[in-house]
C-alpha cells in the first residue's frame, strides 16, 4: 500500500478495494449513485474485470486524518485507454513522438461506465478545497515515485470539474445526449411535444416492434432470475463480438454475482418472441436518474434496440418519477428521439510541463468545437419549438 503524508493528512493508495471495509467506504460514498458502491467496484475487481491483467489495476485513494477516513476517490493505474470514453489516444501518440511513455497513467473513473456522478466523496464538514488539494498533492507525489505520466478525472459533476481547474488540472468538455422528464403523465404526453412528422416516425418504430411479435417486460431487482442474468451475458457477448470482435469488458460472474446483488438499483428490459427471450437491455438507477448501460441481442430485430434501450427507459422514468435518463455515450440518433445534447466534463493533470501546456491548448480549442456542436445539435431536436 502506497502512502503519502501532507501536513496532518495522509493519502493511502489501495491496491485492492478489499483493503478497506465496505462500511468505511460506503460511509463516505454517495450510496444513491450505484456505481460508487463498494459492492459494485469490489464486484468488478473480484470477478477479474478490473485488475493488472485487464489494464485496470485498482489504486483507490483514501484521505485520512489520523486513522479516520475523511474522503475517498476511485482510482486505477491504467496501461491503456480502453473502457474510458474520454478519448486520449492522440495524447499517447504525442508522448511517444517525444520519446516519453504515456502509460502508466492514473484514472479516476467508474470502469466501462461513462456516467457523470460523484468521484471525490468526503465528510460533509470537510473543506472541499483542502480535500482536493491534498488528494492531488498525493497523486503528484505518487506519480513522481512511480514515473506516472498523468492523472485523469472522468465524468465528474460540473461543480467539481470547475473547482479542480484551480488545482493545476486542465478542463476538458465533451457531450452526450440525455432525456429530461418535464413532469409527463405518460409516454403519449411526451410525444405531444414533438412535431407531427417526428411523432409519426417514433410511433412507427414502436409499432414495428409489435408487428414482429416481440413482447417486452421490465424486471426490477429480485424479479430478474438467475436464468435471466445468464441469458443477458450471452446476449451481451454476442453483441460485443459483432461490434468489436471481442466478448466485452464484463464477464458472466460480474452479471450473475455483482449486478444481481444491486437490489432495486438494477433494471432489466427483456424482449421475448413467444416464450423465448431474444434480447435485453440493462439499466441502473439512482433516486432521480436512470442510467442505460448494456444491451445485447440474439438476432437483429427492426427498431428493437430503440424500444428496449430508449423508449422503455423513458417509460420507466415517467412511471417512477425520475428526472433524467442518461442512456450512455455517443449516438447522434438519440437526438431525433428526444434526447438533448448536454456537456460532460473531465480534468487532466500532466506531469511534464511541456506536454501539460500542449494539452491545455488542445482542451481550450476543443471546448469551442464542442460548444458549437451542441448548439447545432439542438437545432435537430424533434420538438415543436427547438430550444
Q: Each residue of 319-371: pLDDT tens digit?
A: 999 999 999 988 899 999 999 999 999 999 999 999 999 999 999 999 999 99
- Going across the sheet that includes 68-73, the strands are 2-6, 9-14, 60-65, 68-73, 121-122
Handedness of CA 131, 133, 134, 135 (dihedral sign): positive
Task: Let me know: does 376 contact 208? Beta carbons within 8 Å.
Answer: no
Which residues are CB-contacts of 184 (< 8 A; sequence separation ≥ 6)?
A: 190, 318
Least confident of 120-134, 157-171, 237-251: 237-251
Does one domain contain both 267 and 216? Answer: yes
Please report whether residue 386 resides in a domain: no
- For all residues of the chain together, what is the average pLDDT? 95
Does one domain contain both 155 and 295? Answer: no
- Give dist(CA 134, CA 94) in Å, integer: 29
Does one domain contain both 72 and 188? Answer: no
Mean pLDDT, rounded, for 116-144: 97
Does one domain contain both 362 and 229? Answer: no
Does one domain contain both 348 and 298? Answer: no
Pairing mode, strands 324-326 and 170-180: antiparallel
Does one domain contain both 194 and 312? Answer: yes
**Cell numbers for 178:** 440525455
- Give dist(CA 24, CA 21) in Å, integer: 5
Please report whether residue 102 resides in a domain: yes
Please report whether residue 202 resides in a domain: yes
- Would the pLDDT of 7 be above 80? no
Does one domain contain both 286 and 167? Answer: no
| CB-count burial class (<10 Å; 0-12, 13-18, 19+) for 181 | middle
Q: Is the peptide bond before 104 cis (omega within 30 degrees of 0)?
A: yes
Question: Element (H or E) spanning 347, and its range?
Answer: strand 340-350
- Give dist(CA 85, CA 320) in Å, integer: 29
| DSSP state letters, 137-190 | HHHHHHHHHHT--EEEEES--HHHHHHHGGGT-EEEEEEEEEEE--S-SSHHHH
Task: Let me know: does 343 contact 174? Beta carbons within 8 Å.
Answer: yes
Please report whether residue 290 resides in a domain: yes
Assessment of whether the complete model's pTM goes beyond 0.75:
yes
Does one domain contain both 101 and 144? Answer: yes
The residues pairing with 142 across neighbouring beta strands, listed in sequence order, are: none
CATH number of residue 275's parent domain? 3.40.630.30
| Residue 90, φ and ψ in degrees, nearest 5 | -65, -35
Which residues are CB-contacts of 114 (< 8 A; sequence separation ≥ 6)?
A: 84, 85, 86, 154, 155, 176, 328, 329, 344
- Would the pLDDT of 93 be above 80? yes
Does one domain contain both 165 and 290? Answer: no
Q: What would the pLDDT profile of 248-258 be if each residue is shown by its tens digit?
A: 999 999 999 99
Selection from 168, 128, 173 nearest residue 345 by Cα: 173
SS (H, E, C) 61-95: EEEEECCEEEEEECCEEECCCCCCCCCCHHHHHHH
Does one domain contain both 155 and 6? Answer: yes
Q: How many CB atoms lie within 10 A of CB 33?
A: 22
pLDDT, residue 206, reads: 97
- Our count of domains for the chain comes to 2
Please report whether residue 274 resides in a domain: yes
Helices 353-378 and 89-97 cross at an angle (nearest 10°) of 150
Please report whether residue 328 resides in a domain: no
Does one domain contain both 205 and 256? Answer: yes
Please report whether residue 331 resides in a domain: no
Q: What would the pLDDT profile of 94-107 be if each residue is shown by its tens digit?
A: 999 999 999 999 99
Show the domain range for 190.
182-322
Please report whether residue 359 resides in a domain: yes
- Would the pLDDT of 379 be above 50? yes
Q: Is 255 left (phi over 0), alpha (psi -120 to 50) or beta?
A: alpha
Does one domain contain both 123 and 23? Answer: yes
pLDDT, residue 387, reads: 44
Amino acid at each position: 500500500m502506497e502512502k503519502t503524508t501532507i501536513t496532518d493528512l495522509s493519502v493511502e493508495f489501495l491496491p485492492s478495494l478489499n483493503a478497506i471495509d465496505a462500511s468505511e467506504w460506503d460511509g463516505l460514498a454517495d450510496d444513491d449513485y450505484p456505481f460508487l458502491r463498494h459492492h459494485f467496484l469490489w464486484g468488478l475487481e473480484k470477478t477479474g474485470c478490473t485488475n493488472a491483467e485487464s489494464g485496470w489495476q485498482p489504486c483507490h485513494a483514501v484521505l485520512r486524518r489520523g486513522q479516520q477516513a475523511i474522503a475517498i476517490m476511485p482510482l486505477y493505474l491504467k496501461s491503456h485507454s480502453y473502457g474510458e470514453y474520454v478519448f486520449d489516444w492522440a495524447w499517447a501518440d504525442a508522448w511517444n513522438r517525444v520519446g516519453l511513455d504515456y502509460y502508466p497513467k492514473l484514472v479516476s473513473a467508474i470502469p466501462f461506465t461513462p456516467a457523470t456522478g460523484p468521484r471525490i466523496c468526503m465528510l460533509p464538514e470537510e473543506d472541499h478545497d483542502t480535500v482536493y488539494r491534498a488528494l492531488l498533492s498525493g497523486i503528484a507525489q505518487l506519480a513522481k515515485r512511480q514515473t506516472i505520466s498523468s492523472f485523469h478525472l472522468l465524468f465528474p459533476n460540473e461543480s467539481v470539474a470547475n473547482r479542480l481547474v484551480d488545482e493545476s488540472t486542465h478542463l476538458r468538455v465533451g457531450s452526450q445526449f440525455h432525456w429530461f422528464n418535464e413532469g409527463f403523465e405518460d409516454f403519449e404526453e411526451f410525444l405531444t411535444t414533438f412535431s407531427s412528422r417526428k411523432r409519426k416516425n417514433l410511433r412507427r418504430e414502436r409499432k414495428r416492434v409489435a408487428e414482429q411479435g416481440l413482447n417486452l417486460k421490465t424486471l426490477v431487482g429480485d424479479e430478474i432470475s438467475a436464468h435471466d442474468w445468464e441469458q443477458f451475458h450471452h446476449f451481451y457477448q454476442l453483441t460485443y463480438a459483432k461490434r468489436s470482435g471481442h466478448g466485452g469488458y464484463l464477464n458472466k460472474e460480474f452479471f450473475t454475482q455483482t449486478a444481481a446483488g444491486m437490489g432495486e438499483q438494477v433494471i432489466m428490459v427483456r424482449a421475448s418472441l413467444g416464450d423465448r427471450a431474444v434480447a435485453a437491455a440493462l439499466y441502473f438507477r439512482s433516486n432521480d436518474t436512470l442510467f442505460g448501460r448494456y444491451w445485447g441481442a440474439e438476432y437483429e430485430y427492426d427498431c428493437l434496440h430503440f424500444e428496449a434501450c430508449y423508449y422503455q427507459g423513458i417509460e420507466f422514468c415517467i412511471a417512477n418519477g425520475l428526472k433524467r435518463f442518461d442512456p450512455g455515450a455517443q449516438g447522434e440518433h438519440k437526438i431525433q428521439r428526444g434526447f438533448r445534447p448536454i456537456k460532460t466534463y473531465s480534468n487532466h493533470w500532466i506531469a511534464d510541463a511541456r506536454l501539460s501546456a500542449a494539452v491545455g491548448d488542445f482542451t481550450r480549442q476543443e471546448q469551442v468545437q464542442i460548444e458549437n456542436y451542441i448548439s447545432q445539435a439542438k437545432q435537430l431536436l424533434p420538438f415543436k419549438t427547438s430550444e
